[in-house]
A and B are shown apart, each in its own frame.
Chain A
Amino acid sequence: MLSMLRTIWTVFLHLFRRPVTVQYPEEKPYLPPRYRGRIILSRDPDGDERCVGCYLCSAACPVDCIALQAGEREDGRRYPEWFRINFSRCIFCGLCEEACPTYAIQLTPDFELCDFDRQSLVYEKKDLLIDGTGKYPGYNFYRVAGLAISGKDKGASENEDKPVDVKSLLP
């Protein structure tokens, strides 16, 4: 008896509490930038694709929903010839982002990925690639890596000495 009365009293008190229900979709919740939602491919600060097609995201993916084919552009940059994520399989674990050595693949706060047709949840590179740098504004893999590409010669990366003159015997 006492317990019932106490319960009724508690429920009654809730009438005067602020509601926690969010009026979604009219009202959108705030999600932090590191929220793990829809995956995108970002570009480096110079506007070129960040993805170098290293296959680490696809290897890290526990549901194997990422597939791609690496290629090489004429300027020496590696890039994905095609890149596909099957969001109908994706579990938004973020392991791909963690594995990505170039900050190319990132998870965004957009979680609204419902569809009646599973087939339209298959995203190709054109659907994934955005025009910005995403969460990591400054990073450009090719400025750090010792690979020469057109416009950046050997020895021009960060922390690199000028290329060795093989014919010199000077110390």
Chain B
Amino acid sequence: MATIYVDDRPYEVDPGKNLLEECLSRGLDLPYFCWHPALGSVGACRQCAVKQYRDENDQRGRIVMACMTPAMDGARISIRDKDAAQFRAGIIELLMSNHPHDCPVCDEGGECHLQDMTVMTGHNYRGYRFGKRTFRNQELGPFINHEMNRCITCYRCVRFYRDYADGKDLDAFASHNHVYFGRHEDGVLENEFSGNLVEVCPTGVFTDKTLKGHYTRKWDLQTAPSVCAHCSLGCNTIAGERYGQLRRILNRYNAEVNGYFLCDRGRFGYDFVNGDRRLRQPLLRGQPTGAPEALRRAAALLGRQSRIIGIGSPRASLEANFALRTLVGPRNFFSGMAAGEDHLVARMLRALRGARVRTPSLHEVESADAVFILGEDVTQTAPRLALAVRQAVKQAPRTEAMRLRIPRWDDAALREVMQQQKGPLYIATSGATKLDEVATASCRGAPDDVARLGFAVARALDDSAPEVAGLADGDRALAEAIAGALRAAERPVVISGSGSGGEAVIDAAAQVARALGRERTADLCFTAPECNSFGLGLLDAMNTSEAFQRVADGLVDAVVVLENDLYRRAPGAVVDAMLESAQVIAIDHSAHKTVEGAAVALPAGSFAETEGTLVSNEGRAQRFFQVFVPEGEVKPGWSWLMELAQAAGRNELATLASPDDLLAALARAVPVFAPLPEHLPTAAFRVNGEKVPRQSPRASGRTAVQADVTVHEPKPPADPDSPLAFSMEGYPQQPPSALITRFWAPGWNSVQSLNKFQSEVGGALTGGDPGVRLLEPGANGYAAYSEEIPVPFERRDGEFLVVPLYHIYGSEESSAAAPAVAERCPEPYAALNLEDARTLEVEEGALVEIEFDRALYRLPARLSAGMASGVIGVPMGIAVQGVDVPAWSPCRKV
């Protein structure tokens, strides 16, 4: 700790930080532009000028940039000093001399860092009489709108896009005051994290194009803390609503999870909530009906004497799943995951609950210094994790550079030393991945070969691990190299997941982690298929195939399907047969084939219309909150289940009335969930006796929005289920971190106000980051080495192994229904190795015929040098769904 004096007041600071960070951490207002807590300092904008004095006798001082000056012990600075204040106002005036006078039509207006800083410095009138510089804009695809005139040349966009996210297609062009930030030509921004430009850009150059389609100012959005439901990472988001429509997703900082950034699927995949596929009223065999009639019909199916089963869903909340489990009884409850998926999740959880391995948070992955990825195309299945891996790759060279006594925040200097050096990252997958470009080495193989490499690495790390028989010399050398890198690292991470479809791959990753964890607990990170897969895995239910079997055996009268499209879990013929032989009650937010075929379909709320708890791939249980009250007869899944139980005269759910009750009952029924009720905020929670408002104090139109229907303003909807209120009234100050509905502080209207919510800049939120970790390394858990090492993959004549491929846009069910994301979905294809294509005499785009899992597919071939030999990759959710892969298939040219 060091002491600095700001305007003659002493502050305890961390000498490893710079003055700007420390001033902001201490709650002092100092304007800045180019500095970003995750990107470091470059001293480009000259906005954070302060006066520094040599000692207490120094009266003159000198102007320094706070972001480029270390917070050294005894430093004396002044923010209020007249010269410094004038300097800052001058800089703003200069930046504003070309600003285009278009705040009224700018989507950033009202949450603009430039507006805030301009007001903060006091500049208010353009004194420059001459013309303004102008630029032409570019068309950057469905996510991002470009308005280059608003640029103040802080370089944050390219520093994020190129330096942080390793994007290639955004750059600074031209020179002097013509510097232009864009692509070399119009076109879609390719990087998966382009949406963060919206938050990184301090002005309105890059804005959210999906928001523009239904534009609302920040102060009018009704917002609630949410958790992204589009992959298993559980990134924290803020979802905003206006006029009954979900309008945008913003990042909600959580130092342990997503930090400052989200992926584009999470940010732009929300529009399915407003989509025309939404179910807004109950259906009877596809025909719309009223809720009482639907309940009556459903209740008739669920009578006391009827044999019912429940199929849950890994994309529904714990509360809804547990309500269904309670209604039908644990012995009749199925996880909703396909058999393959279920086994994968079970294996992952078994590894993580065992001794010697620990599941790291995303933040811990970021600070890893060696990474080994087995069988998972992280960029496509868990994009934000790929961004963390990209930071991990920079970790080792950065540590090396910091030996030259360059502080952590001095970004430009560190990069100068680091150049293109990369830390160890090894990838073994069946198809090429985007992370290959930063990998030390990446190798391709069928899932079994990938697993064998993993087992070989474990063996190289620890002699007591079982030997891999018949390993090629090249693979052995690679395994030695990987083992060496992992052993040398201070904080190695092994990453794997369900993406390869191979159980052996997961075992291999666990084996590596156990071998690494001989001396100390090793980090093992798994990606799960869906947002609550781990939650369902921990509920320990039977899988969906068993449900189908039970129906086929004639042991079931009625099936309740909760938020699940069974056609994505099993071959169509199997589901068709089930829909015919049993009465199905489907509860979901969108219409799909299962809903259409169900006897009764009930409209459930999406993530924005309900509240619930999800368990992320880290084993972190996080609560998301209802953002708005939906139109029509939409209700939360658990609420429908309670009404169903009541209508059918069943008393299983009679004592449970709210999600809090469900959570408490869950904690009692399943020990692993025991910590939930005390750590997650319950509905009874109040700050100073008040609820936390979802609306900003400046929310407008209260007496006009519904005036066309009636001038008698209705009472705002009550929310008995959460500590939040559908109102602008409530506790006006910062709520606890799990209940942050928006980032705003007086004078800080933009997302940069986040500084005011953190214990220190870039650190944990005040009061600790939200979420409860449910998986900690078990003391005496399962930790023995697996002996089940698969035999080497062997090609077959005329047959190929079909392996799953994933796409960030398209593979995930709900985000693919959002128009902006749908625009980015690829067409179906089958990926083949070049050599295999030559043997099959297939050219790029030619149709190939594959047949597996009782279905025939004709897909255009995509030739890829990155595919392993002897396998065919098919994009899941795009070309095929509901199939059990890897599977052998004949392959013919059509």
Residues of A within 8 A of B (CB): 52-56, 58-59, 61, 63-72, 78, 84-86, 88-89, 101-102, 118-119, 121-122, 124, 141, 144-148, 154-155, 157, 159-169, 171
Within 8 A of A (CB), among B704-753: 704-705, 707-708, 710-711
Q: Are A162 and B134 in contact (CB under 8 A)?
A: yes
Closest residue of B by beta carbon distance from A145: B102
CB contacts (< 8 Å) of B130 on chain A: these are 159
Indicate which residue in B131, B134, B136, B219 contacts A59 across the interface (CB closer than 8 Å): B219
Q: Are A55 and B700 in contact (CB under 8 A)?
A: yes
CB contacts (< 8 Å) of A55 on chain B: these are 110, 216-217, 220, 700
Q: Are A59 and B212 in contact (CB under 8 A)?
A: no
Closest residue of B by beta carbon distance from A59: B700
CB contacts (< 8 Å) of B274 on chain A: these are none
CA distance A118 to B217 in the complex (A): 29
CB contacts (< 8 Å) of B60 on chain A: these are none
Query: B702 in the interface, Cβ–Cβ < 8 Å?
Result: yes
Query: B178 in the interface, Cβ–Cβ < 8 Å?
Result: yes
Chain B nearest Cβ from A114, distance in angstroms: 15
Q: Are B176 and A171 in contact (CB under 8 A)?
A: yes
Chain A nearest Cβ from B152, distance in angstroms: 13
Query: B173 in the interface, Cβ–Cβ < 8 Å?
Result: yes
CB contacts (< 8 Å) of A56 on chain B: these are 104
Q: Are B105 and A78 in contact (CB under 8 A)?
A: yes
Write 10 A-B pairs (CB below 8 A) sorted by A numbering.
A55-B217, A55-B700, A69-B243, A84-B704, A86-B707, A121-B711, A164-B178, A165-B178, A166-B182, A168-B178
Given A59-B698, A146-B132, A167 and B243 touching (CB < 8 A)?
no
CA distance A147 to B149 in the complex (A): 8
Closest residue of A by beta carbon distance from B215: A70
CA distance A168 to B135 in the complex (A): 13
CB contacts (< 8 Å) of A171 on chain B: these are 176
CB contacts (< 8 Å) of B699 on chain A: these are 64
Chain B nearest Cβ from A100, distance in angstroms: 9
Given A53-B215, A160-B131, A101 and B703 touching (CB < 8 A)?
no
Within 8 A of A (CB), among B91-139: 100-105, 109-110, 130-137
Indicate which residue in B134, B147, B701 contacts A64 across the interface (CB closer than 8 Å): B701
Query: B174 in the interface, Cβ–Cβ < 8 Å?
Result: yes
Indicate which residue in B103, B135, B212, B700 contacts A101 across the interface (CB closer than 8 Å): B103
Within 8 A of A (CB), among B167-221: 173-176, 178, 180, 182, 212, 214-217, 219-220
CB contacts (< 8 Å) of B175 on chain A: these are 169
Q: Are A118 and B711 in contact (CB under 8 A)?
A: yes
Closest residue of B by beta carbon distance from A147: B102
Chain B nearest Cβ from A9, distance in angstroms: 52
CA distance A117 to B149 in the complex (A): 49
CA distance A147 to B102 in the complex (A): 7
Q: Are A147 and B174 in contact (CB under 8 A)?
A: no
Chain B nearest Cβ from A148, distance in angstroms: 8
CA distance A124 to B130 in the complex (A): 42
Q: Are A52 and B104 in contact (CB under 8 A)?
A: yes
Given A66-B700, A161-B132, A168-B174, A101 and B708 touching (CB < 8 A)?
no
Q: Are B147 and A147 in contact (CB under 8 A)?
A: yes
Chain B nearest Cβ from A52, distance in angstroms: 5
Residues of B within 8 A of A (CB): 100-105, 109-110, 130-137, 147, 149-150, 173-176, 178, 180, 182, 212, 214-217, 219-220, 243, 698-705, 707-708, 710-711
Given A52-B105, A54-B105, A164 and B708 touching (CB < 8 A)?
no
CA distance A165 to B175 in the complex (A): 11
Closest residue of A by beta carbon distance from B126: A159
Q: Are B136 and A67 in contact (CB under 8 A)?
A: no
Given A65-B704, A86-B711, A145 and B176 touching (CB < 8 A)?
no
Q: Are A164 and B100 in contact (CB under 8 A)?
A: no
Q: Count CB-based A-B contacts (< 8 Å).
A: 143
Q: Are B708 and A124 in contact (CB under 8 A)?
A: yes
Q: Are A164 and B243 in contact (CB under 8 A)?
A: no
CB contacts (< 8 Å) of A159 on chain B: these are 130-132
Indicate which residue in B101, B135, B176 contacts A154 across the interface (CB closer than 8 Å): B135
Chain B nearest Cβ from A116, distance in angstroms: 13
Q: Are B176 and A160 in contact (CB under 8 A)?
A: no
CB contacts (< 8 Å) of A61 on chain B: these are 700
Chain A nearest Cβ from B631, distance in angstroms: 16
CB contacts (< 8 Å) of A68 on chain B: these are 701
Q: Are B131 and A146 in contact (CB under 8 A)?
A: no
CB contacts (< 8 Å) of A157 on chain B: these are 100, 132
Given A70-B215, A78-B105, A141-B104, A166 and B711 touching (CB < 8 A)?
no
Chain B nearest Cβ from A95, distance in angstroms: 12
Q: Are B104 and A66 in contact (CB under 8 A)?
A: no
Q: Are B134 and A161 in contact (CB under 8 A)?
A: yes
Closest residue of A by beta carbon distance from B696: A59
CA distance A51 to B547 in the complex (A): 59
Q: Are A64 and B700 in contact (CB under 8 A)?
A: yes
CB contacts (< 8 Å) of B702 on chain A: these are 64
Q: Are A85 and B134 in contact (CB under 8 A)?
A: no
Q: Are B135 and A119 in contact (CB under 8 A)?
A: no
CB contacts (< 8 Å) of B103 on chain A: these are 54, 101
Q: Are B174 and A166 in contact (CB under 8 A)?
A: yes
Given A52-B104, A162-B134, A67 and B705 touching (CB < 8 A)?
yes
Chain A nearest Cβ from B206, distance in angstroms: 15
Q: Are A160 and B708 in contact (CB under 8 A)?
A: no
Q: Which 3 A/B pairs are nearest by Cβ-Cβ distance?
A: A146-B100, A67-B701, A54-B104
Q: Are B105 and A58 in contact (CB under 8 A)?
A: no
CA distance A136 to B104 in the complex (A): 18
Other CB < 8 Å A-B pairs besides A59-B220, A145-B100, 19 of them?
A53-B215, A55-B220, A67-B700, A68-B701, A84-B708, A86-B707, A102-B104, A119-B711, A144-B101, A145-B102, A145-B105, A147-B100, A147-B105, A154-B149, A160-B100, A164-B178, A166-B135, A167-B173, A167-B174
Q: Are B136 and A154 in contact (CB under 8 A)?
A: yes
CA distance A139 to B104 in the complex (A): 15
Closest residue of A by beta carbon distance from B701: A67
CA distance A164 to B97 in the complex (A): 16
CA distance A155 to B175 in the complex (A): 19
Chain B nearest Cβ from A89, distance in angstroms: 4
CA distance A69 to B101 in the complex (A): 22
CB contacts (< 8 Å) of B134 on chain A: these are 146, 154-155, 160-164
Indicate which residue in B133, B147, B220, B698 contacts A164 across the interface (CB closer than 8 Å): B133
Chain A nearest Cβ from B223, distance in angstroms: 16
Indicate which residue in B132, B180, B214, B703 contacts A86 across the interface (CB closer than 8 Å): B703
CB contacts (< 8 Å) of B109 on chain A: these are 54
Chain B nearest Cβ from A159, distance in angstroms: 6
Chain A nearest Cβ from B208, distance in angstroms: 14
Closest residue of B by beta carbon distance from A149: B105
Closest residue of B by beta carbon distance from A154: B134
Given A66-B701, A67-B704, A146-B101, A59 and B217 touching (CB < 8 A)?
yes
Chain B nearest Cβ from A50, distance in angstroms: 10
CB contacts (< 8 Å) of B133 on chain A: these are 161, 164
CA distance A55 to B708 in the complex (A): 19
Q: Are B217 and A85 in contact (CB under 8 A)?
A: no
Chain A nearest Cβ from B738, distance in angstroms: 29
CA distance A103 to B358 in the complex (A): 62
CB contacts (< 8 Å) of A145 on chain B: these are 100-102, 104-105
Closest residue of B by beta carbon distance from A102: B104
